[in-house]
Amino acid sequence: MSHLIQHLNPRQKEAVLYIDGPTLVLAGAGSGKTSVITRKIAYLIEECGMAARNIAALTFTNKAAREMKERVSGLLAKGAGRGLTVSTFHNLGLNIIRQECKTLGYKPGFSIFDAEDSRTLLKDLMLKEGDIDSDHLDMVQNQISNWKNDLVIPAHAKSKAQNKGEEFIAYVYERYTQALKAYNALDFDDLILIPVQLFHNEPEILKRWQKKIRYLLVDEYQDTNSSQYLLVKQIVGDRGKLTVVGDDDQSIYAWRGARPENMSMLRQDYPNLHLIKLEQNYRSTQRILKTANYLIAHNPHEFDKALWSDKSYGEPIRIIRCGNEELECERVANEIITQRLQRQIHFKDFAILYRGNHQARLMEIKLQQHQIPYAMSGGTSFFSRTEIKDIMAYLKLLVNPDDDNAFLRIVNTPRRQIGTSTLEALGRYAGERHISLFAAVDEMGLAREIPKQTLARLLRFREWVLHIGHLAETGNPINALREMVTDIDYEGWLVQNASSPKVGEKRMENVWYLIDSIRNLLERQQTEDDLDERDIGLEAALNKLILRDMLERNEEEEEMDQVQMMTLHASKGLEFPHVFMLGFEEDILPHRTSIEEDNVEEERRLCYVGITRAQKTLSITMAAKRKQYGEIIDTSNSRFLEELPEEEIETEGFGDHCPVRNEQKGRMTLDSLLADL
């Protein structure tokens, strides 16, 4: 028997060996779903003789894709996996768009707008319509994203609108789509939507891709949204060469349009679907598994999944209630230090999971204070901060005025009263003549397209960029950069747009930090004597900076001895020997928005995901008091606490000295009160 399937259980083997038709593996956490995918890839290559380049495996996060890639290459002979696609849905989409960009009408080098960029564009469009309510902005952004994920194009959205409010959003959606196109830009949702539309309209192109991807595997299938679902269906076609694995209890992306019912839809799409259930958990101790099972039993279930484990019974689940959030983070840091010594293990054996990124800041400070190395995934890297992206765009434009993306990013940031319709006209004009936007500003013919006053503003901007560029080239570049940020009053702009002046000032500090890094690089250029001409000057320094960011990211990928920090969402599919879950409180987990929207079931699944990441121990912490919007509030324990098996739990910090608002205690007091009566 192939070494690839030797250690698998019979059901897992069946899932790997079955290649005659579509397969769905439906199973709980830690039951080896991802293992089935990685082994099946290796099996297809090694035993079935399929070329690696004809196989694609999709998942949801970059980290998961990286892990999967590593697992597969560990199974294959060196080099045998060359050409294999293991990527996120979005990356596959991006590849398709890159290769087909001519047919799609995008110029090569199109830019990708992240959520922040989209938000800025939407804000501009809405401001123009006189709508400046920022809550409204969130709503519009979500709605547009939902439409895109559900493959609703602007014309549909408009015709379906039932009232003025919906008409407005549909109108903004239409303008937004036009603006993106004019900017030669795509947003995140487009990365899936556009390939789906392309495959729908161009059967020949679809055929080409079907020929390339002959076997498709999808991990975490419960989190596909409608457009991802369709993309899978298009690529697979009627060949049925598909294996998907998923767990409806781990569906945690409904808020981003995920539809767990896509799993049952498979049965309709493929009547010959081969369904396999796995029931043995190979990850966690029995206690952790029991805790997870207890919790998730509080959600309604279509299929019952009896997960069992023959691992050891394990240590009790610890629930630690601390006085406030600072003590909570301090406690976790201390636990890591002592447990690492006591158990003789590494920092990388610990993971700290939390509901929202804001919870990470204090934890980071405490880890730093105790000199505990840590890696954060999914956090904001320095170079993805808005202010850094802005200033980098200015710098890019200084060294290459033809960089349209950079131009578009900053031509109206800070505001110069150059609006979207002007930019659209400019984009059209430049597009027809195949010149850059910056070059187009100076053309005589443009006067017919753009009102005189606006054109004057554009010309002023152009002159100014050239002036600063000249200063940087002929004089001291750092002085030129300082003059640049002062000229545009970037600090004023940051303060004005931040939630508080302090936040704005902090952001400005990042800008100074960036300029300082450039100064260092430039100084180093002067001391290094083996440099050739190309390595000198602002442009070289800039490229180095961009490269360095990429290098830093690569380093992150390396296996280093660091505590892993991430949100519960980002932890999906991963496993760690010792897990800490922070903030087990009402309004955090379950999150306040989900409580308000009566969507606690999704939060319970998220909590289930967190618990089932743990292999050996699980510690859950909470703070009795917490700062919220500048006020200190008494927190309430998460409602999920009551849903865990009491006999497997060891609590701490719930004594009388704490103002405990534990539901169970509350009931006890009520009982005793009644008894007294």
Ligand X SMILES: Nc1ncnc2c1ncn2[C@@H]1O[C@H](COP(=O)(O)OP(=O)(O)OP(=O)(O)O)[C@@H](O)[C@H]1O
Residues at the binding site for ATP are 27-34, 283
C-beta neighbour count of 131 within 10 angstroms: 15
Q: Which spans in 225-376 are helix H?
A: 226-236, 262-269, 286-296, 325-343, 358-369
- Give the DSSP per-residue string, 11-33: HHHHHHH--SS-EEEEE-TTSSH
The option from Mg ion, ligand X, none interacting with 9 (CB < 5 to 8 A, set by class) reads: ligand X
* Beta carbon nearer to ligand X, 190 or 575: 575
Region of 5-13, 143-151, 499-507, 512-520 interacting with ligand X (CB under 6 A): 5-13
- Residue 33 designated active-site: yes
Single residue of 12, 141, 309, 564 touching ligand X by CB under 6 A: 12
Complex with ligand X: residue 325 or 575, whichever CB lies closer:
575
Using CA atoms, how far residue 57 sits from 20, 66, 87, 626, in Å, is 18, 11, 7, 43
Q: Which amino acid is at 312?
A: S
Among residues 219, 248, 585, 602, which one is catalytic? 219
Residue 264 CB-half CA count within 13 A: 6
Q: For residue 606, report the phi and psi dihedrals to the nearest 5 degrees.
A: -65, -40
Tell me the residue ranges of DSSP E strands in 326-441.
350-354, 374-376
To Mg ion, the closest distance from the beta carbon of 252 in angstroms equals 13
Q: Which residues, numbered 611-640, are part of the site for ligand X (CB under 6 A)?
A: 612
Is 220 designated active site?
yes
Q: Which stretch binds ligand X (CB under 6 A): 28-36, 179-187, 295-303, 508-516?
A: 28-36
Q: Which is nearer to Mg ion, 29 or 172 (CB)?
A: 29
Which residue is it, tokens 């009408």? 105
Check residue 7 for interaction with ligand X (CB under 6 A): yes
Which option in ligand X, Mg ion, none does residue 246 bind, with CB closer than 5 to 8 A by kind?
none
Closer by beta carbon to ligand X, 58 or else 538: 58
CA 62/CA 64 separation, integer angstroms: 5
Tell which one of 33, 290, 355, 626 touches ligand X (CB under 6 A): 33
463 flagged as catalytic: no
Minimum distance from residue 79 beta carbon to ligand X (Å): 24
- Tokens linked to 169: 């959003």
Nearer to Mg ion by Cβ, of 33 and 321: the residue is 33
* Residues numbered 266-325 forming contacts with ligand X, rule: CB under 6 A: 282-283
Task: Assign 3-state DSSP to the chain and report helix, strand, coil percentages, each to 5.
Answer: 55, 15, 30
- Tell me which of Mg ion, ligand X, none is bound by residue 567, counting a contact when its beta carbon lies within the kind-specific cut-off of 5 to 8 angstroms: none
Q: Where are the alpha helices (DSSP H) in 161-285?
A: 164-182, 190-201, 203-212, 226-236, 262-269
d(CA 607, CA 596) in angstroms, rounded, equals: 18
Tell me if 64 sits within 8 A of 315, measured CB to CB: no
CA distances to 153, 171, 211, 649 from 140, in Å: 15, 11, 39, 44
Rounded Cα–Cα distance for residues 549 and 273 (Å): 45
Catalytic residue among 220, 223, 328, 387: 220
Catalytic residue among 12, 13, 23, 33: 33
When the beta carbons of 122 and 289 are compared against Mg ion, the nearer one is: 289
248 is catalytic: no
Active site residue 34: yes
- Given ligand X, Mg ion, none, residue 619, with its beta carbon under 5 to 8 Å by kind, binds none
Site for ligand X in 227-256 (CB under 6 A): 247, 250
Q: How far is the CB of 147 from Mg ion (least distance, A)?
A: 30
Q: Which residues bind Mg ion (CB under 5 A)?
A: 33-34, 573
Q: Which of 507, 613, 616, 626 is catalytic?
A: 613
Beta bridge partners of 87: 58
Tell me which residues are annotated as active site. 33-34, 219-220, 250, 613
Residues lying near ligand X in the complex (CB under 6 A): 7-9, 12, 27, 29-35, 247, 250, 282-283, 573, 575, 612
